[in-house]
Amino acid sequence: MYTQQVIDHFNNPRNVGAIPDADGIGTIGDPDCGDFIRIYIRVKNDRLEEVVFEACGCPASIATTSILTELAQGKTVDQAFAITEMDIVRALGGLPDPKIHCSNLGAAALRQAILYYRQGKKNEGREA
Ligand code: FES
């Protein structure tokens, strides 16, 4: 069973969209299920000013990435990079065991976007 938070974030995902001139983009897919998540970040004064995402994924991947955007927004780049899959699962009040892996996609896409930002490769993660 999904928690109310998961259902809410799936039905009303926060921060969906794209940033054409993003400071970093990360795209991560799961070859086993075919789902993928793309995260765009805008950074100002070392903080994530904007974090938005596009998804083609299962309900758990959408809900986990939605809440991840809320967790990451306003954090410093280092703090956002340190957000773990379990931070995301906890923020949603838990996930069924078989769906825990779905939280990996958003977290990995955010880390990739931050890595590209740090390397000055703004658009590198668009095609990943
Ligand atoms: Fe693919 Fe959830 S089943 S990310």
Rounded to two decimals, the pTM is 0.95
What sign results for the dihedral spanned by CA atoms 44, 122, 9, 95? negative
**Residue 58 annotated among the catalytic residues of the structure:** no
**Residue 102 annotated among the catalytic residues of the structure:** yes
Tens-place pLDDT, residues 68-89: 999 999 999 999 999 999 999 9
* Best residue among 56, 58, 89, 104 to mutate for probing ligand 1, ranked by most atoms within 8 Å of CB: 58
Instruction: Give the pLDDT band of residue 128 (cuts 50, 70, 90).
Output: low
Tens-place pLDDT, residues 9-57: 999 999 999 999 999 999 999 999 999 999 999 999 999 999 999 999 9
HSE-up (13 A, CA, CB side) for residue 67? 29
If one counts every other C-beta atom within 10 angstroms of the C-beta of residue 125, the result is: 24
